[in-house]
Structure 1
Amino acid sequence: MADTNYDVIVLGSGPGGYVAAIRCAQLGLKTAIVERELLGGICLNWGCIPTKALLRSAEILHYARHAKDYGLKIAGEIEADLDAVVKRSRGVAKQLNQGVTHLMKKNKIAVHMGEGTLTGPTSLTVKGEKGEEKLTAKHVIVATGARARDLPFAPADGERVWTYRHAMTPKEMPTKLLVIGSGAIGIEFASFYNDMGVDVTVVEMLDRVVPVEDADVSAFLEKSLTKQGMTIMTGAGVEDLKVTAMGVKAKIKDSKGKVTETEFSHCITAIGIVPNTENVGLEKLVEMDRGFIQIDDYGRTKSKGLWAIGDCTPGPWLAHKASHEGVTTAEAIAKELGNKEVHPHPLDRANIPGCTYCHPQIASVGLTEAKAKEAGHDVKAGTFPFIGNGKAIALGEAEGFVKTVFDAKTGELLGAHMVGAEVTEMIQGFVVGKTLETTEAELMQTVFPHPTISESMHESVLASYGRALHI
């Protein structure tokens, strides 16, 4: 008879769940994880990682088509082999899924594959290949994640109406694609399919694309995507969507209130997420707001011994936020179980970076200029364009900028916002700075290596104080 009693059981094995399980095991706790589908969850198998593999293929295609800009000749027609691109992406996902399987073994974490349902705050049943198992623990962490929200009048069918999941393993290449929603997921797929040669239209309800980003970044991105051949409609809404034999017919109301009917071969809906909190036995055990589990700063729910992390809790709904919460919650549980060596830190939401891997890339942390002013700060903000950066010009990637926002009185770094090549890698410099509570003086005194695009980070700080050197 397999062991069914643990110190901690984690329900869900995404980047929140599997990281929480590893940290629990590191702290000497007897740990199990319950997963209904694939270890690594959506992020590794159907989200963050395989989409980056797809986008990399599109990026290589983009460079190949612009080879002459770099003094290179590529003979013959360059074309995308969709099946091979998808196959590569699935191979990347499989490799990472196997990596998580290895980490579970290495850390002696018991894996129960099947559908988990709570029968109390610290007990659950798992229905899987082995029939029904009853498991108990001193503590349970719910990490069930979220799924794509469907359009009420046109649920995804995998044929013509897609969520991100269908868009990653397309049966055919769209010819004319409608993307509803311009958050990170919508814009990344719009970018991918546009680079692959598809005619792409993006419809965003709010008055600008990537609406959570700084207004300057939104404006720059919209210009860039339009220049790349996309149709961008902001302040617009899809009022009706009918699936036909040949595709979809969409009634789109533009920002002036004019409604037009347009035909597309396919449609991707990227209008947000719904937490996976139904049918898990949570209803009487936790407080919920629109389905999201309400927690304290360490992941505690209202039921003793029951914790929650990641996309099934309040946002931002990002993999790295889930992983961070996983570590915090694991340490808080260890402390409750008598470990005096751990000192859990609650999550500071102001220091969570966001990255969007479209072409050009976007990355940000902290407050936008508008939000900083709204919060009552006297603001100093500065922008440095990539056209003033030697490395960006040498790379042929002179489109983009870095913007920094400071408190004029204290010099505190309130936010940083970037758009352009490799900014998703660069943002971490500002995240470390914010976590260490840096000021403009320390950033100005920091030596940035030359030639790197990161020098534009330094220059944007200088620009905030009227001291930029290269513009």
Structure 2
Amino acid sequence: MSTTEFDLVVIGGGPGGYVAALRAAQLKLSVAVVEANHLGGICLNWGCIPTKALLRASEINHLLHDLGQFGFAADNPRFDFQKVVARSRAVSKQLSGGVAHLLKKAKVPVFDGLAKLSGVSGKKRKIEVTLKDGAKTVLTATNVILATGARARALPGLEPDGKFVWSYREALVPEELPKRLLVIGSGAIGTEFASFYRNMGSEVTLVEVADRILPVEDEEISKLARTAFEKQGMKVLTGAKVGPLKKGASEVSVDIEAGGKTHSLTFDRVISAVGIVGNVENIGLEGTRIVVEKTHIVTDELCRTGESGVYAIGDVAGAPWLAHKASHEAVMCVEAIAGRHVHPIDATKIPGCTYCRPQIASVGYTEAKAKAAGYEVRVGRFPFIGNGKAIAMGEVDGLVKTVFDAKTGELLGAHMIGAEVTEMIQGYVIARSGELTEAELKETVFPHPTISESMHEAVLAAYDGALHF
């Protein structure tokens, strides 16, 4: 059993962990990464990236069946489903290899294995690593960052079985396209899978226990999303209770209570997307002062745990469960370790994106939450039907909504649904981060013709009135 000393050991090589290691190397800290599975974590291998590759394929399939509006025609457009899935896996593999290259370039050693905190030696913390070949080694470090991520939550009776009930992993690598699909949970994960499979041709039923889909989004955006999904042929049930699954030889039947009615439905496959739980087991938290609440590690505003020298970032440290939040925490955390002055992250300035069709993006307070927080608000709305670029693209179903503090003019929140909004939201994120008011945003020149002009019009709509609607 050998011992190797570092300034920092990062446990987990996802978008939080590997970014922390790269920043530490830039700051001349000696750093190592321990990763049990794949560099890039869930995001790169089983989440953000492969789902976007699949969704891109479904968008193409949709366009191929909607060529008439552009003056084109194609006889019997079809796809090879296994090639669609294979491309998604190839994209993930390419990017995971890219992370390995970056760490190697930065001279960051990577230990392939399972790590756990195993006590203190002097002023340094010990980390025991069980390598994939069964050998053990001990690393010591002044500081440790826990970036172990999270996994899909399994509800009783809805546990993934690899055949009828899928988690996101099985949903990413199906052997064939299911004809009838039930998606339980309408957060970002459930909604994106529902959108992908519907646009590839599956009959999709989306079920949500809350009274509306996408419950963390602004209520107005949620309603528009439901309208769009139902227009595409998706069945949406909210305020729903899913009964026990009854598995047959080749299908699943289930009773779903919603709207005072019981729907007896049959499906080929079921996707369970009912949240995540933090990976806090078997990492040596026992006997430490680290506190775990609802499967997530409790941290302060600088990602410090209750144990001196131990930090936690990303999904294991709680909401919002977003890769870009993890990466930003990584940089902040490492710079704090290096003695630099840092600013705590404000969750209301972190954007959220859902890559369904139509796309959804938001930052800051919803209208309801702003009012609940005591703000007097001014709200602006601008629909895509008033935007020239959106009309030219054939993407007129969309809306930009802004929420301002009526007293100070501060942009409190922005909420968008429609084509390319996940690319556009960053403009409002910069406005939130820079504490801009309507005065600066009204004076900002937006290029024409772009869909982003809708963002300007939504600001004007909250005050003097939109010009083009």
With normalisation by structure 1, the TM-score equals: 0.97
For structure 2, which runs of at least 5 residues remain unmatched after alignment? none
Distance 1:175 1:200 in 2: 8
Distance 1:305 1:394 in 2: 55
2:156 maps to which residue?
Answer: 152
2:26 maps to which residue?
Answer: 26
1:119 maps to which residue?
Answer: 118
Q: Secondary structure at the match of 1:91?
A: helix
Q: Equivalences for 1:56-71 in 2 at 5 Å? A: 56-71=56-71
For structure 1, which runs of at least 5 residues remain unmatched after alignment? 336-341
CA shift at 1:237, angstroms? 1.6
Please tell me the residue identity of whatever aligns with 2:410.
E
CA shift at 1:115, angstroms? 1.1
Select which of 240, 245, 250 maps to 1:241: 245
2:361 maps to which residue?
Answer: 363
2:92 maps to which residue?
Answer: 93
Q: Does 1:334 align with 2:333?
A: no
Q: Does 1:421 align with 2:414?
A: no
Q: Does 1:205 align with 2:209?
A: yes
Conserved? CA contact 1:16–1:322, under 8 Å: yes
- The CA deviation string for residues 208-244 of structure 1, in whole angstroms up to 9 with x for no partner, is 1100000110000000000000000011121211222
With 152-161 and 32-41 compared, the bigger mean Cα shift is at 152-161
Q: Secondary structure at the match of 2:392?
A: helix
Q: Secondary structure at the match of 2:244?
A: strand
Q: Secondary structure at the match of 1:89?
A: helix
1:263 maps to which residue?
Answer: 266
1:383 maps to which residue?
Answer: 381
Q: Does 1:39 align with 2:39?
A: yes
1:338 maps to which residue?
Answer: none
Distance 2:256 2:299 in 1: 39
Q: Equivalences for 1:290-301 in 2 at 5 Å? A: 290-301=294-305
Distance 1:231 1:460 in 2: 31
Distance 1:77 1:3 in 2: 63
CA shift at 1:16, angstroms? 0.5
Distance 2:397 2:265 in 1: 32
With normalisation by structure 2, the TM-score equals: 0.97
Please tell me the residue identity of whatever aligns with 1:93.
S
CA RMSD of aligned residues (A): 1.1
Distance 2:262 2:157 in 1: 17
1:404 maps to which residue?
Answer: 402
Conserved? CA contact 1:80–1:196, under 8 Å: no
**How many equivalent residue pairs?**
463
Q: Secondary structure at the match of 1:382?
A: strand
CA shift at 1:251, angstroms? 1.9
Distance 1:47 1:314 in 2: 17
Distance 2:203 2:321 in 1: 29
2:280 maps to which residue?
Answer: 277
Conserved? CA contact 1:240–1:252, under 8 Å: no
CA shift at 1:279, angstroms? 1.4
1:221 maps to which residue?
Answer: 225
- The CA deviation string for residues 181-208 of structure 1, in whole angstroms up to 9 with x for no partner, is 0000000000000000000000100011
1:17 maps to which residue?
Answer: 17
The verdict on how the C-alpha distance between 1:161 and 1:302 changes in structure 2, with shifts beyond 3 A counting, is same
Percent same amino acid among aligned pairs? 57
Q: Secondary structure at the match of 1:240?
A: coil
Conserved? CA contact 2:150–2:315, under 8 Å: yes
Distance 1:353 1:283 in 2: 34
Q: Secondary structure at the match of 2:338?
A: helix
Q: Does 1:138 align with 2:142?
A: yes
CA shift at 1:366, angstroms? 0.2
CA shift at 1:428, angstroms? 0.1
Runs of 4+ that moved beyond 2 A? 258-261
- The CA deviation string for residues 82-122 of structure 1, in whole angstroms up to 9 with x for no partner, is 10000100110011001000010111111000111211262
